[in-house]
Amino acid sequence: MPSLAYEREAGCLVAGVDEAGRGPIAGPVVAAAVILPVRGIPRGIDDSKAMTAAEREKVLAKIERSSIVGVGVASVHEIDQINILQASLLAMRRAVMAMPVCPRAILVDGNKLPYDLPCPARAIIDGDAISRSVAAASIVAKVVRDRIMDALAQSYPGFGWDHNRGYSTPDHKDALNRLGVTPHHRRTFASVRIALGEQIESTDRQLNLLIPQEDWPPSA
pLDDT in tens, 85-137: 999 999 999 999 999 999 999 999 999 999 999 999 999 999 999 999 999 99
Average pLDDT for the chain: 92
pLDDT higher than 80, residue 200: no
CATH 3.30.420.10 fits 5-151, yes or no: yes
For residue 218, the model assigns a pLDDT of 73
For residue 214, the model assigns a pLDDT of 45
For residue 128, the model assigns a pLDDT of 97
DSSP state of 41: P
- Of 219, 220, 211, which is closest to residue 108 (Cα–Cα)? 211
- Of 126, 97, 99, which is closest to residue 110 (Cα–Cα)? 126
pLDDT in tens, 15-46: 999 999 999 999 999 999 999 999 999 999 99
Least confident of 43-52, 102-111, 155-164, 203-212: 203-212
For residue 179, the model assigns a pLDDT of 96
For residue 201, the model assigns a pLDDT of 56
C-alpha to C-alpha distance for 14 and 34, rounded to whole angstroms: 8
Q: What percent of the chain has pLDDT over 70?
A: 90
pLDDT higher than 60, residue 184: yes
Domain positions in the chain:
5-151, 155-195
Mean pLDDT value across residues 160-183: 96
pLDDT confidence band for 220 (50 / 70 / 90)? low
The side-by-side arrangement of strands in the sheet containing 68-74 is: 68-74, 29-35, 14-20, 105-109, 121-124
Positive or negative: CA dihedral 101, 107, 108, 109: negative
Q: What percent of the chain has pLDDT over 90?
A: 88
Helical H segments across 30-131, by residue range: 53-66, 76-82, 84-98
pTM (2 decimals)? 0.91
